[in-house]
Amino acid sequence: MKILLTCSFVAVLLLAGCAQPGATSDVKWPPMVRAGGGPPPAPTAPPPIKASKPKPAPRETAPPPPAPKPQPTPPPIVTADNSLTGKVARVNDAGRFVVLQFPIGRMPAAEQNLFLYRNGVKVAELKVTGPQKDDHTVADLTTGDAQLGDEVRDK
């Protein structure tokens, strides 16, 4: 059974290789005989070519330059934002420190300087002192003042 399948596969490949699309043949076939049995009509001669006035030579002009192709717009470059952001959870004005809340897994390092923003305006600078517990840490106010809900960024 395997041999029969292999042989038929090879035969199909050989036949497919011989059948080329668009192949032309140089063989001239004899003209067909009419149903009446008579000989085919004699080929007619092509019409004579009329003498015409010679046309003046065309002026050689440079072809117009091709129009420049519009440049495709490059796709926008998207980069991940690796900045550290958090919120002020508690404020102690007397001790000049704040408790900061950050997303889980993104905590600032000890002694790192951070900036405090309120409505997009920088209002204070902080220095992380610790301790750190879960998603909260403590930072000292070095300049400015803090309010509950202010945004903390590292840049």
Average pLDDT value for residue range 61-86: 84
Q: What is the band of 5 on the pLDDT scale with cuts at 50, 70, 90?
A: confident
Least Cα distance to 90 among 146, 35, 133, 145 occurs for 146
* Structure-token pair, residue 149: 């809900």
Please give the tally of structural domains in the chain: 1
C-alpha dihedral over 63, 65, 66, 67, to 10 degrees?
-140
Which pTM was predicted? Answer: 0.49
144 inside domain: yes
- Which tokens hold the place of 121? 């305006």
The domain of 102 spans 85-153
Mean pLDDT confidence for 104-118 = 90
Q: Across all residues in the chain, what is the average pLDDT?
A: 81
Q: Is residue 132 part of a domain?
A: yes
pLDDT the model gives residue 20: 58
CATH number for 131? 2.40.10.170
| Inter-residue contact 143 to 98 (CB < 8 Å) | no
Whether 98 is covered by a domain: the verdict is yes
Please list, in sequence order, all residues whose beta carbon lies within 8 angstroms of the beta carbon of residue 136, skipping any fewer than 6 positions away: 89, 99, 100, 101, 102
Indicate whether 25 pLDDT > 60.
Answer: no
Q: Is residue 28 part of a domain?
A: no
Residue 37 domain-assigned (yes or no): no
Does residue 17 fall inside a structural domain?
no
> What average pLDDT score do residues 74-88 get?
88
39 within some domain: no
Does residue 5 sit within a domain? no
Q: Between 13 and 66, where is the model more confident? A: 66
Residue ranges of alpha helices (H) inside 36-139 are none
Q: Is 10 helix (H, G, I), strand (E, B) or coil?
A: helix
Look at 6-20, 22-36, 50-64, 89-103 and tell me which has the smallest mean pLDDT.
22-36
